[in-house]
Amino acid sequence: MKHSLKVGFSFGLTSGIITTLGLMIGLYSGTHSKLAVLGGILTIAIADAISDALGIHISEESENKHTAKEIWESTISTFFSKFIFASTFIIPVLLFELSTAIVVSIIWGLSLLSILSFSIAKKQKGKPWKAVAEHLIIAVVVIVVTYYVGDWIGATFA
């Protein structure tokens, strides 16, 4: 896979998982509303995918070592990866009761993140389980923090 596509794909997948899970968990714990969670997922899938794509675009431009074609490949790859991976979290919310959908989404997101982390570490000839553990710990911290923030907001302002 070309470097520019790899940049967009890995960034989009990672951001799509962690951002969407964080938002879902926070909205769930604060509102227990399927509608709020679905709206949050769609917002992340659209607005944050565009924002992240622009961020990658500007980041790649600032390095001053990529062609315009490579920059646009990273930009488009980021957008579609973020949009597609964030959108996959809609499925469990539509299919299951919200509390079950949250558990299914956490398992889905952490599984995808593990596969990506393992794959990258193997290609870099690193220790795959170290990379997987590091990335999962960060994701779990996001999940726990957003749960308690949502819970606090729900209890304080509801």
Tell me the domain boundaries of the chain.
3-157
Place 153 in a pLDDT band, splitting at 50, 70 and 90.
Answer: very high
Answer whether 97's CB lies under 8 Å from 28's CB. Answer: no
Q: Is 42 exposed, middle or buried (0-12, 13-18, 19+ CB in 10 A)?
A: middle
- Alpha-carbon span 59 to 67, nearest angstrom: 13
Residue 1 has pLDDT above 90, yes or no: no
State the CB neighbour count (10 A cutoff) for residue 100. 12
Q: What is the pLDDT of residues 11-38, one digit of tens each?
A: 999 999 999 999 999 999 999 999 999 9
DSSP annotation string for 117-137 = HHHHHHHTTS-HHHHHHHHHH
Count of positions (residues) in the chain = 158
Q: What is the pLDDT of residues 47-98, one digit of tens each?
A: 999 999 999 999 999 999 999 999 999 999 999 999 999 999 999 999 999 9
